[in-house]
Amino acid sequence: MPQVIAGTYEIGMQIGAGGGGIVYLGRHLRLDKQIVLKADKRTLNTKPEKLRREVDMLKGLSHTYIPQVYDFVQEQGAVFTVMDYIDGESLDKRLKRGELPDQPQVIHWACQLLEALCYLHSRPPYGVLHGDIKPANIMLRPSGDICLIDYNIALVLGENGAVKVGRSRGYASPEHYGAEFGDLEKSRGAMEETGTLEITEDMGATEPMSETEPMEWPDSAGPTEPMRVHGKESRVSFTSGLGSTGTSGGQRVTLDARSDIYSIGATLYHLLSGHCPAQNAADVKPLGPEICSPQVSEIVRKAMAVSPDQRYQSAAEMLAAFRQLHRRDVRVIRHKRRMAATAALLSMMFLAGGTSSLLGAKQLEQIQQALALAEYSANTLAEGNVSGAVELALQAIPRKESVLNAPVTAQARKALTDALGVYDLSDGFKALDTLELPSAPFGIQVSPEGTRFAVTYAYEAAVFDTESLQRLAALPLQNSALSDVVFVDEDRLVYAGDTGVTAYDLDAGTIIWTGETATTLAVSADGTRVAAVNRDEDHAVVYRMDSGDIEAECSFEGQHMQVAANDIFASPDDSVFALNGDGSMLAVTFENGGLWILDVDQPEENLILYDDSEYRHFEGGFCGKYFAFAASGGGEPLFGLIDTKEAVYLGGYESPDVFSLTAGEAGIYLANGNVLVRFDPDTQEETELAYTDQEKITGFSVGEESILTATDGPGFAFYDRGANRM
């Protein structure tokens, strides 16, 4: 029968063991979710009130890239740390298999690690030091994000007054060995000879999980508080002795935030090169251009400087360095006529950007308060207090509409309607019918007014009437999953036919015209022009829709769009290929991360937003004179807005979550995390359309009366235009 501790946690199979204890997979009986329990067999020599204080601090930590600690439990001579179960595998296992990530992926993980450190280092009162960052303590989730584990979770446990601190070879900073200037072998020998370490007031140490060399504190210097970082009071002091048998005359060296900076630099060094860096910091050779870009090499070199004063002084500073890698002058890196904005316009842009950021922060705070009030209202209603529930729900709704106020959240609306009992939201949408296809579908396209839709599969496009589900046409396609079908209006469409790009009249059932071989297509919003490019070509062809005459050829100057290694069965849909409203501009992304806006009629007016970049996934489109785009897959996900008439970057922002974007004459719609909004390019205001609680939105469709969202969780959901989930 499984062992249950504290009446709450069921212990399952052992999943790991190290110098600090045994790790078990378990289950939280009340929450019915998987957890991890780390059992420490050492004696507990800490006052209960101090233990509770530290437990409360650790339980209060909550961040996307660190696991949640639930509790410490002392039972049957062992102390158990209860925390989140992180699905995935540690990065050291991938390294042992020889699986090296590319530079964009390493940068993506580095930003996530540094965000976690920014959070830990800033916790009150002094911050929390991790102390043992290495690939073995970084979990890669199935989503592709990382989680920094084993952060300071056994700080107050002592064995006869001794606490161990992790010292992982190659990843530990010189301070871990008691060396200030990199003379590691000398100071290490002195340390082993004297065994002398000194801990300052309010300090403690971490517990290594594995592959570490433990160092014990002397009995007289037992632990008092967690290892912390922030300012002069928050350091762990070593007295190396340097040949002496006592602490007098010894040289004091400290661990602080910069020690974690060294370890993260060493971890990135290993991920990029495939080799653990030398134990002696002075012997670490810089990463060469055959391994990574000089800019990334410089960031790693600075993080691993022997002297802490020469490193980044905070995780935030190092994070900023990585984010600056992706910042090109997005206004126009190369504008062939060198159109320049005036200084006054730039000043206005900066002021507008600052105001927008402040408003965004204020509205985010309002949204968080509204979500909390909505939850309180639901709890109050469950207790039978209807009037109290109504009052709380009303507090979650702004008294008046204003640019200073965040939009009303779906949770606030639902809380109020539940409390008032105005209407029932239990009715939902039901499947209309099921259509059998010859093979798995590659994609689906809907006509502008929704009366018809086309489904593509290998290698055909079937067009159906939406109401009757009658099949109207079966159109042969190129043997590629990239083959597009695009509606011009309810009666006409263009498709990547097996004999070339083809315009087709659905009512007449006849071909209007046929052009050159192509796979990827775009149609202008006014239906006058069609752009086409073949997967192997370095140019696009623009046709007149009514006649099929070629109006222009747009050169990519030797560049090629991104194509899957095997496009016969796979279309990653990572590229932008879009015409603006009248077909005078064509936006294209390339395999090197480039993003261009080509002037169809005047090639000398082309705009190049990115000549190249580390981004590998783009979404985007035109809305009037604006071009909106989202980029990810090589750094911090980015959303940006361009005024194509003025050739000016108007604004945008980055986020840890990937953006999902559609843009057209009907508007710009942007999903990020669990929120979907309509973005107004003129005012840069956002109107909430959907909020999905915990799941992240992975796709959406916006109709006249309702919105459909798909998430990374099971199923999908419909919302009305008031952001209420239906």
Structure-derived torsion over alpha carbons of residues 376, 380, 383, 386, reported in degrees to the nearest 10: -160
Q: What is the reported pLDDT for 44?
A: 57
Q: What is the reported pLDDT for 244?
A: 30
Q: What is the reported pLDDT for 6?
A: 86
State the average pLDDT over residues 422-436.
Answer: 62
Residue 272 · residue 296 · CB < 8 Å:
yes
Q: What is the reported pLDDT for 241?
A: 34
What is the Cα–Cα distance from 195 to 176, expressed in whole angstroms? Answer: 13
State the average pLDDT over residues 307-322.
Answer: 93
| Nearest CA-CA partner of 432 in 448, 459, 450, 447 | 450
Q: What is the reported pLDDT for 330?
A: 33
Look at the chain and count its residues: 726
Q: What is the pLDDT of residues 232-291, one digit of tens each?
A: 334 444 333 333 333 334 444 567 889 999 999 999 999 999 999 998 899 999 999 889
Q: What is the pLDDT of residues 22-46, one digit of tens each?
A: 888 999 988 888 999 888 755 556 5
For 377, counting Cβ atoms within 10 Å of its Cβ (0-12 exposed, 13-18 middle, 19+ buried), the class is buried
Q: Where are the beta strands (DSSP E) in 568-724?
A: 577-579, 585-589, 595-599, 607-610, 617-623, 626-632, 638-643, 648-654, 659-664, 667-672, 675-679, 686-691, 697-702, 706-711, 716-720
Q: What is the reported pLDDT for 429?
A: 57
- Pair of tokens at residue 341: 């904005």
Q: Is pLDDT above 70 for 345?
A: no
Residue 556 · residue 539 · CB < 8 Å:
yes
Eight-class DSSP state of 221? G
Global pTM reads 0.47
Residue 19 · residue 159 · CB < 8 Å:
no
Q: Where are the alpha helices (DSSP H) in 164-256?
A: 184-194
Eight-class DSSP state of 555? E
State the average pLDDT over residues 381-396.
Answer: 82
3-state secondary structure labels for all residues of 427-469: CCCCCCCCCCCCCCCCEEEECCCCCEEEEEECCEEEEEECCCC
Q: What rounded mean pLDDT belongs to the chain? A: 79
For 705, counting Cβ atoms within 10 Å of its Cβ (0-12 exposed, 13-18 middle, 19+ buried), the class is exposed
How far is residue 720 CA from its own chain's centroid?
A: 28
Q: Is pLDDT above 80 for 488?
A: yes
Q: Lowest mean pLDDT: which of 88-92, 269-273, 347-351, 531-535?
A: 347-351
Neighbours of 613 (CB within 10 A): 24
Eight-class DSSP state of 713? S
Eight-class DSSP state of 162? B
Neighbours of 10 (CB within 10 A): 17
Q: What is the pLDDT of residues 67-106, one digit of tens each?
A: 988 888 888 777 788 888 999 999 999 999 999 999 889 9
